[in-house]
Chain A
Amino acid sequence: MRITFKSSGGVAYFPGLSAPKTIDVSSLPSDRQQEIRNLLAESRFFDLPARTPPRKGAADYQTHTITVADDAGQHTVEVSDPVPPSLGRLFDLLRELS
């Protein structure tokens, strides 16, 4: 399983922070792999819509994109702040691991 994620937007656009990052989940320690799978299940990741647009009039929010690819296929989700709690925890974990 590979996860590619990126966060864009915010109060300013920083070129150095806008590049996507990729994690090869199968190369992680098994407890981390399990943590990721738990968060994917908890957030019902594979059932989430591809894109949740931000509220009209919102500004300077960050937009987070995450693609999970495995043998079964691939699913991409794009959400803007504020992010649902379990998805937020997944992002925090991915950032920590990258």
Chain B
Amino acid sequence: MCTTSHRHSIFCILPPHVLRSIVERGTPEQRQMAANTLAVDATLRAFRASARSFEAAPSVDALALPAEKRCTVYDAEHSQELPGRRLRGEGDPPSADVAVNEAFDGLTDTWNFFWNVYGRNSIDDEGMALDATVHFGSRYNNAFWNSQQMVFGDGDGRLFNRFTIALDVIGHELGHGVTEDEAGLAYLFQPGALNESMSDVFGSLVKQSSRNQTADAADWLIGEGLLAAGVQGVALRSMKAPGTAYDDPVLGKDPQPAHMDDFVRTYEDNGGVHINSGIPNRAFYLTATRLGGYAWEKAGRIWYETLRDSRLRTNSGFRRFAALSVANAGRLFGVPSVEQTTVASAWDDVGISVGHGLLT
């Protein structure tokens, strides 16, 4: 039987040849069970092998076993060793440590968002465990994704509060895992800015969904509440108005552009990945608010499907992503459609013109 201990039980399915053997030689009940399992198994295999564009998320009934969330929070106890001491997992009661609970709830909300909205079973769509470490380092002013888990600092209290305080930051970090799994956008220059923007999109959507906010009610700020009291700023970034999130004597002024005319050419920040992400961020904000309703239903779906489009490469830039988003909007909602036109004009408004029908 199954011997793997670290993956979800969905992987521990009996291999087809064993099931077929049962169909041939088992009792009537065993044969029925095996036949059902083979049918679902065939569907699962076809589903995975097929082109990755689906009109709707698969229903839970279509899968052999329900997706299972596996969130765990660890404590690095101010060291930089990962993952640290395990403090809270599924089924455990809340901790006395607020950072632990915030991390756990954030992982949970993000997992729930991807599953409920896009039918995606965790970051890799295969039930990957979601791990987070809190209290990383000493007054560490940052949070990051180390390619396998989330890591949170406590902040120094002077510039930053604890990094678990912002749900969108948690969604942002886990979003990097989704982007790496689907498109592998290189973390450099324009593809890196797209990578960053995708994470801001996911982070925003997780936050909006948790608050049941429509696009027009959302604040479109990333990391609100993260800047300590006394800092001249409201958030790390604004998707609505890139470049306006902060202007502080110590932090400097928010350097994000909102339009290609102001694209920043730099070798800092991996080629400005956190800077130029303002441009695709604004394109998403415009799309979502012009379409109205919940941002994850149409705008988010178009962006998610574009991320999963096999034509999006690791070195794709803004123009290619924009063209694919217009193509995917057409595929999902029709050619022509209000949705497709809105996406195209949003990109146009940030300085990227996409011809309709360039890609279908």
CB-CB under 8 A for A59 and B173, given A10-B141, A11-B236, A17-B250: yes
* Chain A contacts with B in 23-58, Cβ cutoff 8 A: 55-58
User: Which of B79, B142, B163, B268 is within 8 Å of A18, CB to CB?
Assistant: B268
User: Interface digits, B80-106 against A, CB 8 Å rule (1 contact, 0 not)?
Assistant: 111000000000000000000000000
A17 B252 Cβ-Cβ under 8 A: yes
CB-defined contacts of B195 to chain A, threshold 8 Å: 59
A16 B248 Cβ-Cβ under 8 A: yes
A26 to B7, CA, bound (A): 54
> What class of interface size applies to chain A in its complex with B?
20 to 34
B176 A59 Cβ-Cβ under 8 A: yes
Chain B: CB-nearest residue to A84: B80
A17 to B79, CA, bound (A): 23
* Chain A contacts with B in 49-75, Cβ cutoff 8 A: 55-62
A2 to chain B, nearest CB (A): 23
Task: Let me know if B109 is at the binding interface, CB within 8 A.
Answer: no
> What class of interface size applies to chain B in its complex with A?
35 or more
CB-defined contacts of A57 to chain B, threshold 8 Å: 145, 147, 176-177, 180, 184
User: Which of B80, B146, B268 is within 8 Å of A85, CB to CB?
Assistant: B80
* Chain B contacts with A in 109-162, Cβ cutoff 8 A: 136-138, 141-148, 151
A51 to chain B, nearest CB (A): 14
User: Which of B81, B172, B187, B268 is within 8 Å of A11, CB to CB?
Assistant: B172
CB-defined contacts of A82 to chain B, threshold 8 Å: 80-82, 136, 146, 151
A83 to B144, CA, bound (A): 13
CB-defined contacts of A60 to chain B, threshold 8 Å: 142-145, 172-173, 176
A13 to B237, CA, bound (A): 10
CB-defined contacts of B272 to chain A, threshold 8 Å: 13
B274 A13 Cβ-Cβ under 8 A: yes
CB-defined contacts of A92 to chain B, threshold 8 Å: 138
CB-CB under 8 A for A55 and B146, given A11-B169, A12-B237, A85-B80: yes
The contact sample of 25 A-B pairs, CB cut-off 8 A, is A8-B268, A11-B143, A11-B144, A11-B223, A11-B236, A11-B274, A12-B274, A14-B251, A16-B248, A16-B250, A17-B250, A17-B251, A17-B252, A56-B147, A56-B180, A57-B176, A59-B196, A60-B144, A60-B173, A60-B176, A61-B145, A62-B144, A81-B151, A85-B80, A85-B81
- Chain B residues within CB distance 8 Å of chain A: 79-82, 136-138, 141-148, 151, 163, 169, 172-173, 176-177, 180, 184, 187, 195-196, 199, 223, 236-237, 248-253, 255, 268-270, 272, 274-275
